[in-house]
Structure 1
């Protein structure tokens, strides 16, 4: 009797089992080696906290300890949200700082003009919201220069403030920014409004952390499907609450005494 047809399926199963037990070992080892290399590369790069300490004249995340606060808005212009934020600021007589994405400014120049006309400060937030820490120096330079050219064409002024998307920037990029007399400005109070939080959550995030010299991060623009209704609802109440505590609102150049 030929038993090959009986044993053949079991032989195949045995081979599959051998492969299943050997492949994970190779995969884990390869992943471990890659992680080790990534760890070595990352260890050579200064953290954002270290960069803030090393370059205090170029890289800031907070102002002097006085009773002034700077409200900042990223990812503008966006016709869904930016006009409403501008309306609130105008009604409350507050000047803020807007960090503009170049590709959006190109599509909605009238909103950038309105920001300038109403006395707000305009900063550079890259051309297409690229994460600077992942870019080469020439790519980073292109993001800044391209956006500045667009803003200059719209407003007649060239921004001197840069806010890196995600707050991420390298030492090499900071050195270039310093050489060209830019100030790179992050934040020390994060509203986390990009998560689509409601009014009360956003108020809590801001009011629980805001203090003398605070730089508050909010958004007046977002991606497809973004919900910034919480920001729009919270903003007037945040302004009223902080004013009642003796704070005044200023632009970043005023807060950081750049003028």
Structure 2
């Protein structure tokens, strides 16, 4: 993390305080270490499985998975969704367009991670 901080600071003049652990792997020790370094660990609550659904001819599976979970009233996000999608995969651009369209259709508000995390602290169990 400290090497990342150095690179961010050198290039951007600052470094973020939120992090998503690679492959979502962050056990209790990891959480304590990240907190000691001043980070908040952010995890997704909706995995699009876009990594499994390449090439582009298979991305429809991710479209369906995202839509089904987004519209599921029992989804663990309670109307607050952080979706996992990989920007380095060719078909994910089309998936992102679909995700935005579906979120707008559901009248979800797009917010920053900071706003999302603060809302979870203020109101952890909102109505879906």
Give the structure-2-normalised TM-score.
Answer: 0.76
d(CA) in 2 for partners of 1:238 and 1:172?
A: 34
The structure richer in helix per residue is 1
Question: Which aligned pairs between 1:41-190 and structure 2 lie closer than 5 A?
Answer: 144-190=1-47
The TM-score, its normalising length taken from structure 1, stands at 0.39
Larger Rg: 1
Query: Does 2:100 align with 1:239?
Result: yes
Task: Say if 1:234 and 1:176 are closer, same or farther in 2 by CA, change over 3 A.
Answer: closer
Q: Distance in 2 between matches of 1:148 and 1:204?
A: 37
What is the Cα-based RMSD across aligned positions, in Å? 1.7
Q: Runs of 4+ in structure 1 displaced over 3 angstroms?
A: none
**Aligned mates of 2:85, 2:43 — CA distance in 1:** 12
Aligned twin of 1:201: 61
**Conserved 8 A contact 2:5-2:15:** yes
Higher relative contact order (CA 8 A, sep 6+): 1
In structure 2, the gaps of 5 or more residues are 71-76, 120-128
SS of aligned partner of 1:249: coil
Q: Return the offset for 1:234.
A: 2.1
Q: Which sections of structure 1, spanning at least 5 residues, go unmatched?
A: 1-143, 222-227
Q: What is the rounded CA distance, in whole Å, between the counterparts of 1:251 and 1:185 in structure 2? A: 12
2:84 is matched with 217
Higher strand share: 1
Q: Please tell me whether the aligned partners of residues 202 and 231 of structure 1 are also in contact (alpha carbons under 8 angstroms).
A: no
CA contact (8 A) 2:50 2:59 kept: no
